Amino acid sequence: MNHKLTIIVGLGNPGPNYSLSRHNMGFGTIEYLSEKYGIKTGRIAFKGRYGRGEIEGKPVVLLKPSTYMNNSGESVRAVLKWYSATPDQLIVLYDDMDLEPGMVRIRPKGSAGAHNGMKSVIYHLQTDEFTRIRIGIGRPEERIPVIDYVLQRIPDHVMPDLKAGMETAGEAVACILKSDVAAAMNLYNSKKKE
């Protein structure tokens, strides 16, 4: 993975209405990486917005699909096809309700769980064997429907934890590129950023 192009995709929904929602943790992490490594993501292709650059000296593509969450796989499939890349060159970033805010989980493969964006990616790639980084958003209180919870604007008091989670996910991406998935799992799967 280290010498080849790595394609880093953050899942989310396009447009200002969604930009500060829990469902956009993937987009937020791409924005963090974009800023930190000076990779502009203004180009339009692959049903998304993307940019090329380097992280830890390794060539990368950062991509935010514009398809809306449920069709994210169309964008992921298009970018892999264009660069003749295989799923082992892919890292997908997305939100997860089963993790508390601020936590991240890195896995080299696995099911989509209940996440529609990941279901779409797995469906379009016809494999679940690609690296993913899940960013914790916690669960809603009983009375709040899940769809409202993930799409509503993040309350100010929760924002610091979610921001820390996106930064940790970004650091995990850099660690994967610098060494490998196992190293990143060891480093980031257990702890919450202080």
Please give the pLDDT value at position 91: 98
In a domain, 72, yes or no: yes
Please confirm, yes or no, whether 3 is among the known catalytic residues. Answer: no
Alpha-carbon gap, residue 78 to 47, rounded angstroms = 8
Alpha-carbon distances, residue 99 vs 22, 37, 138, 157 (angstroms) = 12, 27, 5, 17
Summarised one tens digit per residue, pLDDT across range 15-72 is: 999 999 999 999 999 999 999 999 999 999 999 999 999 999 999 999 999 999 999 9
Q: What is the CATH number of the domain that holds 17?
A: 3.40.50.1470
**Is 193's pLDDT higher than 60?**
no
Q: Single out the catalytic residue among 23, 115, 124, 157.
A: 23
- Give the mean model confidence (pLDDT) for residues 115-128: 97
Q: What is the DSSP letter of 104?
A: E
Please give the pLDDT value at position 2: 41
The secondary structure of the chain in percent helix, strand, coil, rounded to multiples of 5, reads: 40, 20, 40
Phi-psi region of 47 (alpha: psi -120 to 50; beta: other; left: phi over 0): left
Q: Domain of residue 136: give its range.
A: 6-188
In a domain, 23, yes or no: yes
**Is 3's pLDDT higher than 90?**
no
In a domain, 81, yes or no: yes
Count of positions (residues) in the chain: 194
Summarised one tens digit per residue, pLDDT across range 133-171 is: 999 999 998 889 999 999 999 999 999 999 999 999 999
For the chain, percent of residues with pLDDT exceeding 70 = 96
**Is 182's pLDDT higher than 70?**
yes
In a domain, 194, yes or no: no
In a domain, 143, yes or no: yes
Quote the mean pLDDT of the chain: 94
In a domain, 18, yes or no: yes
Tally the domains of the chain.
Answer: 1
**Is 177's pLDDT higher than 60?**
yes
In a domain, 193, yes or no: no
Residue 47's closest CA among 86, 21, 73? 73
Residue 91's closest CA among 119, 133, 127? 133
**Is 1's pLDDT higher than 50?**
no
In a domain, 1, yes or no: no
Let me know: does 75 contact 9? Beta carbons within 8 Å.
yes
Kindly state the helix (H) or strand (E) to which residue 83 belongs, with its residue range.
Answer: none
